[in-house]
Amino acid sequence: MAQNGPATVSLYRQPDQESLALDSSFNFHCHAGLACFNRCCRTPTILLSPYDLLRLRQILGITSAALLTRYTRRETEESSNLPLVFLDPFNSPGGGCPFAGPQGCTVYANRPAACRLFPITMGSGLTEQGLVDHYFCRRLDYCRGFDTEVQWTLGSWMANQGFTEYDAGRREWLEILLAKGLRGIIPPEPQFQDLFAALYEPEGLRRLLSEPAFLQVCDLAGQAAALAGLSDLALLNLGYRCLKSLLP
């Protein structure tokens, strides 16, 4: 996997602006008739959750290993020392998002959560009450999508873009990542590190969870045969559950 960009990244920076509420409004309409169309896809910074990768693999019809090798880069999150996967704009022959075509996104139906939310960006923090999200409107200077009378609230935009389903698929992953970082245990225990990394590749996750050591630790003794029949999504949710059991 290409190693372009910084060696480590952090998810723990505090928001430096007021976040949006679900009823906050903004005007936005992106379409192919705009002079800036596709420009925001030339230098994307798209963090991919295991659920994002699962959906991309479905539409591309390739293995997880091929998807990770061709289209992503891996970096280490500095507080948790766990791997994060980003879409790699440096792997595209012309630069930019490898899925951006002349008419727009070629994987639009299965585009990642961050793409669905744009021009809204988000950050999350872990509190005693659980995961708390902060949303912000990213007004790029060149973007003409804001020059419209089409108005949204944050809530209606999220619903229109199908963000809720993708958010549900990534929340446990993000909660585990943040919880591990806040505990300040570096490096992670080998079992935890291996299992977290395997979330990005269902084939590897299936093999790993079938090993006797993991069956025992995750309280799955005697269920190795049942794992083979799980869908990739069910397997991912099981991986989340196992990781939570390994948190100190």
Give the start-to-end residue ranges of the domains of the chain.
20-182, 189-246
Classify residue 127 as exposed, middle or buried by CB count within 10 Å of its CB (0-12, 13-18, 19+).
exposed
Q: How remote is the C-alpha of 166 from its chain's centroid? A: 9
Q: Between these two residues, 183 and 24, which has the higher pLDDT value? A: 24
Give pTM, 2 decimals. 0.89
d(CA 207, CA 34): 47
What is residue 29's DSSP assignment? -
- Helix H segments across the chain? 50-60, 64-71, 113-117, 154-160, 163-183, 190-198, 202-209, 212-217, 224-227, 232-246
pLDDT single digits (tens) 32-75 = 999 999 999 987 789 999 999 999 999 999 999 999 999 999 99
Any idea which of 3-12, 61-70, 94-103 has the lowest mean pLDDT? 3-12
